[in-house]
Chain A
Amino acid sequence: MPRRVQPAVMVAGFISALTFGSSVVGCSSTTPSSIQVLKIGAIPDQNPERLNRLYEALSDELLASLDIDVQYVPVSNYAAAVSAFRSGSLDLVWFGGLTGVQARLQTPGATVLAQRDIDAEFTSVFIANGASGLRPITSADQLVQLKGRRMAFGSESSTSGRLMPQFFLGENGITMTDLAGGGPGFSGSHDATIAVVQSGAYEVGALNAQVWQSNVDEGRVDSEKVVVIWRTPPYVDYHWLARPDLDARFGEGFTGRVQNALLSLSPTTERGAVVLELFGAKRFIPAQNKDYSKIEAVGRQLGKIR
């Protein structure tokens, strides 16, 4: 039996030499040939099938209007999306309010290009499990009745699912330690927040009003078990953010052309209709960095921006 082993050793040696060689060659020969590809990404707040359809349509649209290759890079984590944008792995990203500010502070020169019509006055909803005995609130100061309740947020970096709800709670005298268990729970996503509140694991939850509405419209919410008890005042949220080096890489005025392409999306064209429908908006509107100074202040206040 040992007699058969020698060839094995020789093969091993041969392969390892070959491997070493080829990995050295492989590394240098696959240097990014992708300089002329615009990499777009988004924070994860949609279901995958929808995201894939959405970004396929958008890529086609940008290809048509900008005559440039567009690649959609899915990122499943808010912080990872911010870091990918800072490190240049993503050129154009659909960020939430908080993540957009984080990304912009880490990437000097990055510019806000556009937001949806609904983003200028975005809201969150507070929902409660029917068995919790919580009644709809008419004025914000009644939020104090949430003291001592089990409360669920979505993702820890979500503007509508965490930051702004926490801010409004604080405005009305409820700190996180006032909640049952000494702090909120984090379900990970808006949909999951509905599920954990509906199941009764948590008594109350806060999430993106748009996601809530679409869940209601699709009949995925049991109105016997879970109801909206409060809607927050409006704030600015999602937006498109572009890296500062786009003009240098794709030619003078490229950032402006991307902005125009986004703003001119219209429900009258077939592709435009698809994109806007998937984004849940009628159109994109211009937005500037300074629109998000309120979000930045809130982020700093709550320690999410350092």
Chain B
Amino acid sequence: MTGDWLDIGWVDEIPVRGSRTVQVAGGDDIAVFRTAEGKVFALRDRCPHKHGRLSQGIVHGGAVACPLHNWRISLSTGEALGEDKGCTPTVPVKIDAGRVLICRASTLKAAA
């Protein structure tokens, strides 16, 4: 996996309204989400609040609810929604012929 984009697998491997993770050696996991509308997003798998695993949360609309304290995090911006304040780094995603590609440079940054 070299180049600008990392090929992490098929879109269909991510459950709709669910997520999977990408393990990054020496760093945090990247959580990859798929919404009901079929959009795919990637974020560092840590809530800005108490570092809950966002990949384990409930995905609704364009957000995920952190499993620890129910903070809602925007999948597109990584920002906490509502009254909460905080932001999780996002990783650009592109879909090519059914494959999910995530930006390599952003992955390194988000996982660090």
Q: Is B truly associated with A?
A: no
